[in-house]
């Protein structure tokens, strides 16, 4: 990247950072227990919820507590359980149709990022019936209040319960894009750690590392605020303290609850302060090879942090200090290296590979270009890298000795 491109990126990011206090960020209101959802519905005179979830979760009985509470309180519901991983425009169209046919007046998303993103997009489609989802792609194209949206996350990772984004895949072209608008932030959130007890260890590990990546990328970036730094530090500490426990003992409700809280805090942090090249490359790999998002992030995180070099030492040191990985006698460089080593250790312990063998060498230049186009100039990364430098990182991750 030449000096002019760098100056352009930094100026763009500076303007975005200055705008942070002016933007209408809001946090979802936290509800305790399913009856609280019914209470809110009754107070707001809402009579029928569209529950957006997927087939597996429904069959596992994950929605039962919610549905029982709605029935007990004489509230109606319809369930859309057709959401697939990487929800499609068809999912959104079907769910929106069911909403209309069933006379629903609010949305409850219960599931991981896919169900939540699907419900957000349904809300956007309902208030913008004359626009296609593709026309709402990008920033601030919805600009209308959604029907009340309740989010009940069943994984601790995406943070979608608090973010402005809904990522949707076109059912025909498979093009994946994000709709970003403040009105997509769910109105209410409910954490039920018991729903996560049956989550397989591999999913627990990948989603937990996704949340850690959110916290770290937001924190080491240049557009942090006092609030996003605090949220990111708290999230990283909680994840580092709990992720091995939930991986080894999925039934540990206390640790599951901690991870839910951490994923939420990390979501708040990156909503304000963005992510970085880990996410940019992970999205490129997800688009090309369908690599699960959390897994790609977990593998990439140490490589990208090493590529940031000394520009990230101080922040990583502060994070490690806060998380109790070492004390103040440790120098920033050593501290940063200790944080990266800890991430590598966690990956190893949770059977996350060091490299990704799905990456074909001939695809790397295009993958790097896609990642660079997503990240530059938007992501306020500690060190700007062009497509050529990202190629080097992806090449390291794909090395044939996997």
Residues of the shown chain interacting with Zn ion in the complex, contacts defined by CB under 5 A = 210
Place of tokens 């209408």: 24
As measured in angstroms, the least distance from the Cβ of 159 to Zn ion is 7
- Measured from the CB atom, the residue of 51 and 164 that comes closer to Zn ion is 164
- 270 contacts 214 by C-beta, under 8 angstroms: yes
Measured from the CB atom, the residue of 233 and 280 that comes closer to Zn ion is 280
Contact present, 74 and 45 (Cβ < 8 Å) = no
Contact yes or no for 402/356 (Cβ under 8 A): yes
Integer CA distances (angstroms), 368 to 84, 169, 274, 285, in order: 27, 21, 19, 10
Q: State the nearest-atom distance from the C-beta of 213 to Zn ion, in Å.
A: 6
CB of 210 to Zn ion, least distance (A): 4
Q: How far is the CB of 261 from Zn ion (least distance, A)?
A: 17
Contacts 24+ apart (CB under 8 A), 53-59: 53/79, 53/80, 53/81, 53/83, 53/109, 53/110, 53/111, 53/115, 54/81, 54/82, 54/83, 54/84, 54/111, 54/114, 54/115, 55/81, 55/82, 57/81, 57/110, 57/111, 57/115, 57/154
Quick one: 86 or 337, whose CB is closer to Zn ion? 86
Q: Which is nearer to Zn ion, 218 or 384 (CB)?
A: 218
User: Can you state the angle between helices 277-289 and 293-308, rounded to 10 degrees?
Assistant: 140
Which one, 224 or 337, has the nearer CB to Zn ion? 224
Backbone angles phi, psi at 389, to 5 degrees: -70, -35
Smallest distance from Zn ion to CB 401, Å:
27
- What lies within 8 Å, CB to CB, of 226 at 6+ separation is none
Closer to Zn ion by Cβ: residue 270 or 313: 270
* Residue nearest Zn ion (C-beta atom): 210
Closest distance to Zn ion from the beta carbon of 211 (Å) = 8
**Strands 48-52, 176-180: pairing kind:** unpaired
Of 54 and 210, the one with the shorter C-beta distance to Zn ion is 210
> 168 pairs with which residues across the strands?
177
Closer of 210 and 272 to Zn ion (Cβ): 210
Minimum CB–partner distance for residue 69 and Zn ion (Å): 30
The Cα–Cα gap between 93 and 161 comes to 21
């Amino acid at each position: 990247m030449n000096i002019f491109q760098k100056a352009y990126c930094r100026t763009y990011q500076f303007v975005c950072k200055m705008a942070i206090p002016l933007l209408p960020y809001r946090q979802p209101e936290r509800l305790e227990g399913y009856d609280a959802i019914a209470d809110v519905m009754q107070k707001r005179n809402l009579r029928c919820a569209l529950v957006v979830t997927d087939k597996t979760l429904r069959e596992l009985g994950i929605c039962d507590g919610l549905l029982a509470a709605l029935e007990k309180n004489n509230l109606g519901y319809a369930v859309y359980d057709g959401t697939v991983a990487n929800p499609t425009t068809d999912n959104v169209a079907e769910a929106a149709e069911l909403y209309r046919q069933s006379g629903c007046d609010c949305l409850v998303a219960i599931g991981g990022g896919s169900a939540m993103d699907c419900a957000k997009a349904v809300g956007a489609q309902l208030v913008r019936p004359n626009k296609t989802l593709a026309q709402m792609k990008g920033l601030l194209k919805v600009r209308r209040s959604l029907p009340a949206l309740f989010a009940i996350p069943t994984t601790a990772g995406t943070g979608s319960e608090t973010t402005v984004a809904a990522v949707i895949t076109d059912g025909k072209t498979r093009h994946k894009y994000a709709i970003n608008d403040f009105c997509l932030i769910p109105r209410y959130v409910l954490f039920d750690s018991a729903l996560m007890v049956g989550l397989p260890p591999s999913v627990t590990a990948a989603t937990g590392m996704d949340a850690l990546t959110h916290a770290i990328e937001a924190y080491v970036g240049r557009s942090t605020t006092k609030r996003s730094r605090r949220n990111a530090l708290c999230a990283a500490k909680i994840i580092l303290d709990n992720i091995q426990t939930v991986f080894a003992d999925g039934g540990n409700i206390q640790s599951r609850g901690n991870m839910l809280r951490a994923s939420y805090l990390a979501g708040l942090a990156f909503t304000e302060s963005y992510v970085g090249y880990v996410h940019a490359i992970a999205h490129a790999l997800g688009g090309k090879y369908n690599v699960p998002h959390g897994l790609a992030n977990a593998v990439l995180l140490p490589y990208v942090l090493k590529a940031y070099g000394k520009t990230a030492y101080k922040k990583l040191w502060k994070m490690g200090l806060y998380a109790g990985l070492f004390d103040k006698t440790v120098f920033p460089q050593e501290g940063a290296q200790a944080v990266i080593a800890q991430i590598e250790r966690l990956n190893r312990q949770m059977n996350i590979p060091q490299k990704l063998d799905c990456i074909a060498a001939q695809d790397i230049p295009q993958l790097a270009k896609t990642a660079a186009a997503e990240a530059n100039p938007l992501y306020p990364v500690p060190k700007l890298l062009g497509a050529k430098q990202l190629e080097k990182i992806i090449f390291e991750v794909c090395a044939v000795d996997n």
